[in-house]
């Protein structure tokens, strides 16, 4: 699981917002019955649950998603929703 999560992070680190929670799990291939790691879903940080994750790390992600605009990294700007006041 850790190897899959590491590979996923390396491959997608520039295409996902930094404050996202990605759930991974085992799924059986319908053709072969072999189990493999898959992405189950990706959620907004405030929508996620801890499950088996370290709660303090989950809190870090949630706080990052709600942080001030001045702290947004350049790679996260494309993931921002347009703000209308």
Helices (H), 1-85: 2-12, 55-65
Q: Residue 75: pLDDT band by 50, 70, 90 thresholds?
A: confident
The count of domains in the chain is 1
In a domain, 75, yes or no: no
In a domain, 16, yes or no: yes
pLDDT in tens, 34-59: 999 999 988 877 676 767 778 887 78
Instruction: Enter the pTM of the model.
Output: 0.63
The residue range of the domain holding 30 is 2-68
In a domain, 44, yes or no: yes
């Amino acid at each position: 699981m850790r190897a899959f999560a590491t590979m996923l992070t390396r491959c997608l680190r520039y295409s996902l917002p930094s404050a996202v929670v990605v759930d991974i799990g085992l799924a059986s291939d319908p053709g072969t019955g072999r189990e493999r790691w898959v992405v189950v879903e990706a959620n907004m940080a405030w929508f996620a649950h801890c499950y088996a994750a370290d709660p303090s790390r989950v809190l870090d992600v949630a706080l990052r998603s709600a942080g001030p605009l001045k702290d947004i990294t350049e790679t996260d700007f494309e993931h921002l929703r347009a703000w209308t006041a």
